[in-house]
Amino acid sequence: MTVAYDGRGFSGFAPNAGVETVGGTLAQALERVLGHTVELTCAGRTDAGVHAWGQVVSFDTPGDDLDLAAVQRSINRQCGPRIVVREAAAAPAGFDARRSALSRRYRYTVLNRAVADPFLAATTWHVEAPLDVAAMRLACDPLIGEHDFSAFCRLPKVRTGHPAPSLVRRVLDARWLDLGDGLLRFDIEARSFCHQMVRSVVGTLVAMGAGRKRPGEMRGIVASGDRARADQLAPAHGLCLWAVVYDTDGSVEG
């Protein structure tokens, strides 16, 4: 299923006892429709407050005669408009929403105006200070390619007796678009992302646009692996999991 949701009020995607999550809410609705326990796999485990337009989830259910349109309508009645299923389809054999994905695309939106807009407040980061978009674009180039993104990621917990997980990621594209009227959009695509990576990258790029850092510092920040060299985390509500890319046998795009 391709799922969109407003991340406000949810404690992220992953089911977690005692708190409301997107995955937990969606699984409960599915179980009511299907009549059996459902184990969801998602393409990207979004954090608390992060939105999605093209999240992809997969699950197993018996029977070849399942009325997917009816399932979709039922889920949307139960969960909408906070969570909606945009598309439901039978997946190819062996399909896994996470492991079958070739890349993920995230989108971050900044409202760069002197005065905030209440109708955009839920999905944009309002930055009052003027931003140099050309500088932010210039700083994107060092992000592209395969790098250790430790400088931009929350360090994962290391289990005793196990090596630390790798924070090496391959970024396929990163760019800023000026949409006019103060709306700026950052699009980034990678094979996968580590925890808080996009928000940290955006916070650092905005610092460069505001003149607190120079675009030429980006390459050194990436190479340093030092989280203290990057800037503040951009707020979660400006971030959206926009699309997930699969191969031609299981193609899904938002």
Contacts of 224-230 with CB under 8 Å at 24 or more apart are 224/151, 225/148, 225/150, 225/151, 226/150, 226/151, 227/150, 227/151, 227/152, 227/153, 227/155, 227/200, 229/151, 230/151, 230/152, 230/200, 230/201, 230/203, 230/204
Tokens of 228: 């203290």
Q: Catalytic: which of 47, 60, 96, 187? A: 47
Check if the beta carbon of residue 29 is closer than 8 Å to that of residue 23: no
Q: How far apart are CA 213 and CA 204, in angstroms?
A: 8
> Position 174: which residue type?
A
Check if the beta carbon of residue 190 is closer than 8 Å to that of residue 171: yes
Q: How far apart are CA 246 and CA 96, in angstroms?
A: 10
Active site residue 47: yes
Length in residues, the chain: 254
Residue 126 gets the label, from left (phi > 0), alpha (psi -120 to 50) or beta, of: beta
Q: How far apart are CA 4 and CA 12, in angstroms?
A: 13
Q: How far apart are CA 101 and CA 193, in angstroms?
A: 12
The single residue listed with the structure tokens 């889920």 is: 75
Give the residue numbers marked as catalytic.
47
